[in-house]
Copies of this chain bind each other. A is one copy, B any other.
Amino acid sequence: KNPNNNNNHWLCSIRQGIKRQDMRKVIHSVKVAIALVVVSLLYLLDPLYNQVGDNAMWAIMTVVVVFEFFAGATLSKGLNRGLGTILGGGLGCLASAFAQDLGGLASAIIIGISVFIFGAVASYLRMVPNIKKKYDYGVMIFILTFNLIVVSGMRADKIMRLARERLSTIAMGFAVCIFISFLIFPSWASDELHDSTVLNFHNLANSIQGCMEAYFNSTDEKKKNKSDASFSSCKLVLNSKSKDDSLANFAKWEPWHGKFGLNYPWHKYLQIGELLRELAATVISIKACLQSPRQVYIKSCFFLCSTLLQPLGKFFSVPSSFPHQSSQ
């Protein structure tokens, strides 16, 4: 009865996890709403509005666009936006000043050419895999700011003032996002990555257990359904790569908190995930074995599992690679 009890315990904790997930979504929505109300005060309170004017628009835009579910994602998107704005604005000012010196038709032609060249190069950079993964948003903001400044430069002489005001309102919006995202019920991508790796381990363990039960008592219809359910969780493990990659990407941006220090080895989670997916692949092929009439081959698959579990065991047995590993 002990393994069954264990199983029920895990199912319960997973169900609780889903409820907690939903609760976290509600908390995130409320946090976004609070941030929006705070930046709206720039418009609604007269003393603030007299300071920033219509540039308050950019603070609202920053909150809507930058505020992400995970704290690390918010920080990385905000820094991308800031850097993109500064780089695009600086280059835009230079190009615009150069074009204005020429004046007339030549100026318009220079502006057109610079828009074309910077637009093409930056669009190409956005599709380079490494840049796409980390700086896609920053490059997009670079194109946007560069274009807006270089084309409007012909009309307004006060670019520098405009840029300073706009940057300061963007910084205000960003500060509100960071403050609310990091200090009020923060949701860390690092916790999520750790939990999802732990859940993957338990999903696989359940799948293998379900598989053995189905093999030894294949007549019991109820248990077969249960093992089908555990196989679908096995497929979840198989399709976890893109989610894990983005979580590890965000986790790198998150400061010290809980059991995770600075320079925590997030890439090892990706390696473990890779091995777990290989194991999930093996478990899925066991399922095909169970369905086949020649079940004698099942032994080979169990043997396979053990060969794959060995490197996993080695991973967790090296203490130096996981300095803050909890008892979980």
Question: Would you give the shortest CB distance from A276 to chain B, in whole angstroms?
Answer: 12
What's the number of copies of this chain in the assembled complex? 2
- The answer to the question of A152 belonging to the interface, with a C-beta cut-off of 8 Å to chain B, is yes
CB–CB A300/B307 < 8 A: no
CB–CB A147/B36 < 8 A: yes
- The answer to the question of A117 belonging to the interface, with a C-beta cut-off of 8 Å to chain B, is yes
CB–CB A151/B60 < 8 A: yes
In the A-B complex, the 8 residue pairs with the smallest Cβ-Cβ separation, listed nearest first, are A297-B300, A281-B281, A33-B120, A33-B119, A43-B151, A29-B124, A29-B123, A32-B123
> What separation, in Å, do the CA atoms of A230 and B112 have in the docked complex?
47
The residue that A303 contacts in the complex, of B155, B294, B308, with Cβ under 8 A, is B294
Q: Mark A46-69, 1 if CB is under 8 A from B, else 0.
A: 000100001011001100110001
Question: Which residues of chain B come closer than 8 Å to A292, judged between CB atoms?
Answer: 303-304, 307
> What separation, in Å, do the CA atoms of A151 and B116 have in the docked complex?
36
- The answer to the question of A164 belonging to the interface, with a C-beta cut-off of 8 Å to chain B, is no
CB–CB B281/A115 < 8 A: no
Question: Which residues of chain B come closer than 8 Å to A143, judged between CB atoms?
Answer: 36, 64
> What separation, in Å, do the CA atoms of A277 and B30 have in the docked complex?
39
Q: Which residue of B lies closest to A144 (CB)?
A: B64
Question: Which residues of chain B come closer than 8 Å to A304, judged between CB atoms?
Answer: 285, 288-289, 292
The residue that A284 contacts in the complex, of B26, B121, B282, with Cβ under 8 A, is B282
CB–CB B69/A127 < 8 A: yes
Question: Would you give the shortest CB distance from A210 to chain B, in whole angstroms?
Answer: 17
- The answer to the question of A131 belonging to the interface, with a C-beta cut-off of 8 Å to chain B, is no
Q: Which residue of B lies closest to A113 (CB)?
A: B37
CB–CB A36/B115 < 8 A: yes
CB–CB A119/B151 < 8 A: no
Pairs A–B under 8 Å by Cβ, sample size 9: A32-B123, A36-B115, A36-B143, A40-B111, A43-B152, A282-B284, A285-B301, A288-B307, A292-B304
